[in-house]
């Protein structure tokens, strides 16, 4: 980051910040003569280019921590989604910088990476205070963050080769999710009849469409196609600590159209009318001009995704339903479809997985059980007559 300020008549102080080394802030200053802000800005641009050029060329002194701040400013902010960047920063700052931060970038070797991940598999490495070891998926997320960092260092020719290349990680094991079977799903829908319309529809969309919390919160009236009974899922709302809600693309950056039952679409149509009426009534008080979120308050402010999960927890306690996470309604949707014989490719498209291998990995056990039960259809051929 670069800036300038006037210190005297015709004199400006130029400042170029180079990030941090440990907790120490590194910056370069220069005082120049300039006739006004426009000339000062030109001289600042030249000064910044000079400093950064000298700084980046001397990769022999560049630490991982120092490079991280340059990576953040010059690459990550433009190439990562809001939620992904937040999660990646959290991993780098809490796990990678404490381990590698003071090391020179060029000195990090493959054996350091191997030892680091071997250590992560031991007990006591969780950051949430819980007992046990890190899950294979958590370790994989750490690898993705570290590999992403070093791959850019290689691309910028600061290191000869990414030390994370071909590191073998534990195979990701997807735990069997708690889901509702058909009877439990029917009980859920009967319990919803005593709830307000918005909450009914939030839960029904999760259970039938298989949408994520952020995707549900981001649904707008424009996403409803009543002619074809489909719902377009193309965006999500994310919670950023200390900031307002942010609208972004879906997790896989892919839009999808999901068919929905006629009764659900009728109820969503009623909600759409209500929201459009509220928008007209509130006019200048409408919180999100240009957006009409279905699941919002009377001022058009959409529900936070985390508030949906929180209300679900209270709803479960109140109704006495089997305790599962709100996100498990998505898994319930997929599991019920698999048990009805729906093809995995269709389920992949409904859930928005970028690859069918993801669907197979997550629901492999359910698909296997369904495949085994399929054999019973042939038993009649072998019965003695």
Sheet of 230-233, strand order? 224-225, 230-233, 256-259
Residues 221-263 have pLDDT tens digits of 999 999 999 999 999 998 876 678 889 888 777 889 999 999 9
Q: What pLDDT is recorded for position 225?
A: 96
Least confident of 72-81, 314-323, 352-361: 352-361
For CATH 1.10.443.10, list the domain ranges present in the chain: 182-355
CATH number for the domain running over 182-355:
1.10.443.10
What is the chain's length?
A: 385
Least confident of 63-67, 71-75, 158-162, 365-369: 365-369
For CATH 1.10.150, list the domain ranges present in the chain: 64-155
Q: Between residues 381 and 12, which one has the greater pLDDT? A: 12
pLDDT at 326 over 50: yes
Q: Work out the pLDDT band at 57, boundaries 50, 70, 90.
A: very low
Chain centroid to CA 368: how far? 29
Residues 94-111 have pLDDT tens digits of 999 999 999 999 999 999
pTM beyond 0.85 = no
Q: What is the mean pLDDT of the chain?
A: 86
Residue closest to 362 by CA, chosen among 209, 214, 179, 176: 176
Residue closest to 231 by CA, chosen among 222, 240, 244, 241: 222
Q: Across-strand partners of 104?
A: 63
Q: Work out the pLDDT band at 336, boundaries 50, 70, 90.
A: confident
Q: What pLDDT is recorded for position 361?
A: 67
Q: Which fold has domain 64-155?
A: DNA polymerase; domain 1 (1.10.150)
93-113: b or e for each residue (b if 16 or more CB lie within 10 Å)?
eebbbebbbeebbbebeeeeb
Average pLDDT over residues 319-347: 89
Residues 258-277 have pLDDT tens digits of 999 999 999 999 999 999 99
Let me know: does 35 contact 10? Beta carbons within 8 Å. yes
Q: Work out the pLDDT band at 175, boundaries 50, 70, 90.
A: low
As a whole number of angstroms, the distance between CA 73 and CA 71 comes to 6
Q: Across-strand partners of 4?
A: 14
pLDDT at 188 over 80: yes
């Amino acid at each position: 980051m670069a800036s300038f300020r006037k210190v005297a008549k015709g004199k400006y102080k130029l400042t170029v910040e180079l990030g941090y080394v440990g907790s120490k802030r590194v910056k370069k200053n220069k005082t120049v003569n300039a006739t006004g802000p426009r000339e000062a800005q030109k001289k600042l641009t030249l000064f910044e280019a000079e400093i950064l050029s000298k700084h980046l060329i001397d990769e022999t002194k560049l630490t991982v921590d120092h490079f991280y701040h340059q990576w953040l400013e010059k690459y990550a902010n433009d190439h990562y989604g809001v939620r992904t960047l937040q999660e990646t920063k959290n991993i780098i700052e809490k796990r990678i910088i404490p381990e590698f931060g003071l090391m020179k970038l060029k000195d990090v070797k493959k054996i350091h990476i191997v030892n680091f991940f071997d250590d992560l598999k031991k007990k006591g490495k969780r950051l949430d205070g819980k007992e046990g070891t890190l899950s294979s998926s958590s370790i994989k997320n750490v690898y993705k963050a570290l590999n992403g960092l070093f791959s850019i260092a290689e691309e910028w020719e600061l290191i000869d080769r990414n030390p994370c290349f071909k590191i073998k990680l534990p195979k990701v094991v997807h735990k069997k999710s708690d889901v509702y079977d058909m009877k439990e799903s029917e009980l859920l829908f009967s319990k919803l009849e005593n709830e307000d319309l918005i909450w009914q529809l939030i839960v029904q969309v999760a259970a039938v469409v298989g949408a994520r919390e952020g995707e549900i919160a981001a649904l707008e009236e424009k996403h409803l196609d009543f002619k074809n009974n489909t719902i377009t899922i193309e965006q999500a709302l994310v919670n950023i600590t200390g900031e307002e809600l942010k609208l972004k693309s879906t997790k896989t950056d892919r839009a999808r159209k999901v068919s929905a039952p006629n009764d659900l679409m009728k109820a969503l149509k009623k909600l759409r009318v209500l929201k459009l009426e509220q928008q007209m009534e509130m006019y200048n008080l409408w919180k999100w001009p240009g957006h009409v979120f279905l699941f919002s308050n009377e001022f058009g402010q959409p529900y936070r995704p985390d508030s949906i999960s929180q209300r679900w927890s209270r709803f479960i306690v109140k109704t006495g339903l089997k305790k599962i996470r709100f996100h498990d309604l998505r898994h319930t949707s997929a599991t019920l479809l698999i048990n009805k014989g729906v093809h995995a490719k269709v389920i992949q498209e409904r859930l928005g997985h970028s690859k069918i291998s993801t669907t197979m990995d997550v629901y492999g056990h359910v698909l296997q059980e369904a495949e085994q039960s399929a054999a019973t259809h042939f038993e009649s051929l072998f019965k003695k007559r």
